[in-house]
Amino acid sequence: MSVDEQQIATSPSNGVAEERPRVEIFKREQQSLIRWHENKIGGTDHAWWFYDVRDVSKWFSMMCISVLQPGEAAGFHSHMDETEGPYECWYFVMKGQGEMRTEYFDAPLNEFDAAFMPTGASHQFRNVSSEPVWWMTLSSRGGHPLKVDTYELECSEARPGYMEEYERIMAARKARGLPTP
């Protein structure tokens, strides 16, 4: 039976075919490799594979897998309620060692460690080791639509208010004696 044929499940109680939700399969080789360029909010050029579930999920929007080479980093940012709506995300280290930076602290993340970011929490993940680090992000908007489709913007710093937010984060880190950028 094909995946399409599996969309219709037979109810064991009455034998009547009924429409039921189905599992969606996302093969890596079917995902587009996207390279995010170096940007003004601390990100370096690195590869991303986006697994977009916005059309099939009520709660989640994306799962992304990326690899950071030594010295590379994601941009330092917050998911702002006024721009993206409620947006929570997980970062999960699959292989290697990295560092999670926030406006309050820096913390090492090793293989199978994770970090959870509620809406508005500043964060940056970077590779401070001598080996590549493979990591995954999983994001949810709790069923709320995007106010601005940030996935369609050309670059991270094009998000409304992001440069101002980056400057706020850097000022907070400096006031706490943390390194900037």
- CA 91 to the chain's CA centroid: 7
Q: What integer pLDDT is reported at residue 7 of this predicted model?
A: 46
Q: 153 near 159, Cβ under 8 Å?
A: yes
**Where exactly are the structural domains of the chain?**
25-175
Type of residue numbered 148: V
Q: Are 80 and 120 in contact (CB under 8 A)?
A: yes
Name the nearest CA neighbour of 131 among 154, 156, 111.
111
In the CATH scheme, what is the code of domain 25-175? Answer: 2.60.120.10
Q: What pairs with residue 59 in β-bridges?
A: none
**Are 108 and 99 in contact, with CB atoms under 8 Å apart?**
yes
**Phi/psi of residue 84, each to 5°?**
-110, -5
* Tens-binned pLDDT, residue by residue, of the chain (181 aa): 444 444 444 445 666 677 888 888 888 888 877 776 666 666 667 778 888 888 888 888 888 899 999 999 988 888 877 777 788 899 999 999 999 999 999 999 999 999 999 988 999 999 999 999 999 999 887 777 766 666 666 656 667 778 888 899 999 999 999 999 7
Query: What does the block give as tokens for 156?
Result: 């991270």
pTM of full prediction above 0.85: no
- 48-127-42 Cα angle (round to 5): 75
